[in-house]
Amino acid sequence: MNAMTMMPPPVTVQAVQQFATFDKKRSKLVPLMAILALHIAGFYAIQSGLLSRVVSAAMPTITTVSIVAPPAPPTPPAPAVPKTVELSAPVPQAVIPPLPLIAVAPTEPTITLPQPTRSEAAPVATTAPAAPSTPAPSPPAPSTPRTVSSVEYIKPPQPIYPNLSRRLGESGTVVLRVLINEKGLPEQILIHKSTGYNNLDEAGRQAAQRALFKPMIENGKAVPVYVLLPLTFQIS
């Protein structure tokens, strides 16, 4: 038995054109059908209440917060009013005893004598004024030390020339007024005449402070004296 071979029908140009036209129509119908399906689904959701549940689920939950006012502070208790208590027993009244009577003896009349006048009074004795007392003699005031022209030295003054004055070329003679006490020590040193330079005047004063003098003897007794002491500063 011979097998029959099935051959597909031949594809013509008209068939290809019809298929292409049907493909284009189908591509246009697909979006329209999708839009129609979406509308149908939305209508169904509105009718069944599904859309309202979705919107309710998407909306945030509103929480109601109640603000409670703080409790009022407790009112302080009113002060206690003292009670009025009536006394059952009457208050006894104070009884004042009568004062005793004192018998006063009658007095006899007295006679008052007149007072004597000033003229009749005894004369007042007068005392003689006391003689002025003689003031006690005051001690003699201490005598001021006199100024002498010269004194003898035990250790003569040795002035030291200041280095700064030497570099600056300062020179001159300072005259010092020196108070020499009973022991021959310079007790007070004053500038009688300045050199015009403080450094030279101070150097002369320090030199006189280091000097030692012989005490001034008068009537066999050492006395303080003033002396004018010149000291010369000269650059050699």
* CATH number, residue 184: 3.30.2420.10
Average pLDDT over residues 155-182: 94
Query: Which structural domain range is residue 52 located in?
Result: 12-59
Per-residue pLDDT band for 104 (boundaries 50, 70, 90) equals low
In a domain, 17, yes or no: yes
Q: Looking at 25, 41, 59, which one is the last position of a domain?
A: 59
Which residues lie below 8 Å from residue 164, measured CB to CB, with a gap of 6+?
A: 199
In a domain, 113, yes or no: no
- Report the percentage of the chain scoring pLDDT > 70: 47
In a domain, 117, yes or no: no
CB 233 within 8 A of CB 203: yes
183 CB neighbour count, 10 Å cutoff: 11
Among the ranges given (33-47, 128-142, 149-163, 177-191), the one the predictor scored with the smallest mean pLDDT: 128-142
Q: Which two tokens stand for residue 198?
A: 């403080």
Look at the chain and report how many structural domains it folds into: 2
CB 209 within 8 A of CB 156: no
pTM: 0.41
In a domain, 34, yes or no: yes
Sign of CA dihedral 161, 163, 165, 169: positive
From CA 121, how far away is CA 219, in angstroms rounded? 72
pLDDT for residue 66: 62
In a domain, 22, yes or no: yes
In a domain, 210, yes or no: yes
Sign of CA dihedral 87, 89, 90, 92: negative
**Average pLDDT of the residues of the chain:** 73
* Selected residue with higher pLDDT from 64 and 106: 64
Among the ranges given (31-40, 121-130, 191-200), the one the predictor scored with the smallest mean pLDDT: 121-130
Checking if the pLDDT of 119 tops 60, the result is no
In a domain, 75, yes or no: no
Checking if the pLDDT of 1 tops 50, the result is no
From CA 13, how far away is CA 10, in angstroms rounded? 10
In a domain, 213, yes or no: yes
Checking if the pLDDT of 87 tops 60, the result is no
Per-residue pLDDT band for 123 (boundaries 50, 70, 90) equals very low
